[in-house]
Amino acid sequence: MIVVAKIGTSSITAAGGEINAAAITKFCGEVAALRTNGHLVVIVTSGAIASGLPALGYTSGDRPRDAVTLQAASAVGQTRLMRVYESALADHGLVAGQILLAPLDFMVRQQYLHARATLGRLLEIGVVPVVNENDAIADDEIRFGDNDRLAALVAHLVAADLLVLLTDTPGLLTADPRLDSNASLIEEIVEVDQSMEAMAGGTGSERGSGGMASKLAAAKIAAWSGVRAVIAQASRDGVLEAAVQGAAGAGTVVLPKSSRLPARKLWIAFAVGSSGTIVVDEGARGALVDRGVSLLAAGVHTVTGRFEVDDAVEIAGPDGRVFAKGLTRMSSLDLATVAGKRTADLPEAMPHEVVHRDDLVVLP
């Protein structure tokens, strides 16, 4: 079995932001146990920024917010973080291999394939890849959150069987236990819907940038990749083995879909940021959802944002709700001039499709 195990900042750092070596040692011991049992493991770890801040003189109460300082903290903290992982894995006779990924590695197809090949080779030769965001140069990743989405994309990248998202709680609970003493663990989710997302809440801890909502979103990506996901508590003894075995109460299990999105469409849906929105009429929405056709200019109502050819765009219905995403074959300026026109009325050099069906994903 190929397992991607992601552990968050708050689970491997102390209150002041410094690395909690004991927590990483415990985690790596469980990774080693999986390896002993014949499983391949990819670690996705957070903590570079948080572990770098104390070295730069920042305390937990004065965390900077500007991207450049966070990048500097990441550059300082990443080396400290990897030293602990290298030592903890070496104690079990395992070799760690650092992999730093930025959004561009998922946006550019060739880089995506290179990343997949490198991770695959590391697993083949017995190395434990330790993956983190390349926060020192990846502005968007510093701005928008966490490593949960990255872990889900890595799970697809290596064709994992299981994604384990380790956090500070036993999994997704029915309510906030600080407010409701009757809160209980949701052990299995068949479909991540709006009620589940509302239950997950919002932000994470001061030291981390995720939270249960981001973990549920990552589990949703994994489900559409055909990967079983488990959200579980990092401090639980034997948590990784329990997740692998599917033990009752090990955490919240999000079941995979029976049909998985192809790699390219998963990449379009979840890895590429959107540059604008195309609002279509109800007829076009129905055709895209029910018949899987390409989007034509005739079905376009309005265009928002600025985008160029091959940029990713969201597609919304008349009610403004986004239901699809794709790579456009027209710029926003060109599309605005031909919106609502039949294909026969388009200028001769204009592409017939706004978004070709091969480049379009109806969002789950």
For residue 261, give the nearest of 156, 115, 117, 119 by alpha carbon. Answer: 156
The three-state DSSP-derived secondary structure of the chain is: CEEEEEECHHHHECCCCCECHHHHHHHHHHHHHHHHCCCEEEEEECCHHHHHCHHHCCCCCCCCCCHHHHHHHHHHHHHHHHHHHHHHHHCCCCCEEEEEECCHHHHCHHHHHHHHHHHHHHHHCCCEEEEEECCCCCHHHHHHCCCHHHHHHHHHHCCCCEEEEEECCCCCECCCCCCCCCCCECCEECCCCHHHHHHHCCCCCCCCCCCHHHHHHHHHHHHHCCCEEEEEECCCCCHHHHHHHCCCCCCEEECCCCCCCCHHHHHHHHHCCCCEEEEECHHHHHHHHHHCCCEEHHHEEEEEECCCCCCEEEEECCCCCEEEEEECCCCHHHHHHHCCCCHHHCCCCCCCEEECHHHEEECC
pLDDT at 298 over 70: yes
Sheet with 312-316, strands from edge to edge, namely: 300-305, 276-280, 312-316, 322-327, 360-362
Which tens digits make up the pLDDT trace of 30-58? 999 999 999 999 999 988 888 888 888 88
What is the percentage of the chain residues whose pLDDT exceeds 90? 60
> Taking Cα atoms as reference points, which of 228, 217, 116 lies closest to residue 162?
228
pLDDT at 205 over 70: no
Cα separation, 123 vs 121, whole angstroms: 5
Residue 211 has pLDDT above 70, yes or no: yes
What is the mean predicted confidence (pLDDT) over 175-179? 74
Rounded to an integer, the average pLDDT of 285-307 is 95
Structural domains of the chain in order of their starting residue, each with its CATH number: 2-261 (3.40.1160.10), 274-362 (2.30.130.10)
Q: Which of the two residues, 209 and 317, has the higher pLDDT score?
A: 317
Q: How confident is the model at residue 139 (pLDDT cuts 50, 70, 90)?
A: low
Which has the closest alpha carbon to 27: 243, 177, 200?
Answer: 243
The predicted pLDDT at position 144 comes to: 36
b (16+ CB within 10 A) / e for 153-167:
bbbbbbebbbbbbbb
Contact residues for 89 (Cβ-Cβ < 8 A; gap 6+): 28, 31, 32, 95, 96, 128
Mean pLDDT estimate for the chain: 88
CB 77 within 8 A of CB 52: yes
Amino acid at 93: G
Predicted local confidence at residue 203, as pLDDT: 46
Nearest to 58 by CA among 13, 11, 7: 13
Enter the tokens of residue 216. Answer: 């549920």
pLDDT at 162: 97
Gap between the Cα atoms of 154 and 106, Å rounded: 10
Tell if the pTM clears 0.85, that is, is over it.
Answer: no
Q: Report d(CA 107, CA 213) in Å as an integer.
A: 23
Instruction: Say what the pLDDT of residue 141 is.
Output: 42
The stretch 312-325 carries a mean pLDDT of 94
What would the pLDDT profile of 65-121 be if each residue is shown by its tens digit?
888 888 898 899 999 999 999 999 999 999 999 999 887 777 677 888 899 999 999
Kindly state the average pLDDT of the residues 208-214: 66
CB 42 within 8 A of CB 129: yes
CA distance to 44, 53, 149, 155, 351, per residue, from 214 (Å): 15, 23, 7, 16, 37
Q: With contact defined as beta carbons under 8 Å apart, do 9 and 50 qualify? A: yes
Binned at pLDDT 50, 70 and 90, residue 7 comes out as very high
Average of per-residue pLDDT across 158-171: 94
Cβ pair 152, 364 in contact under 8 A = no
pLDDT at 41: 98
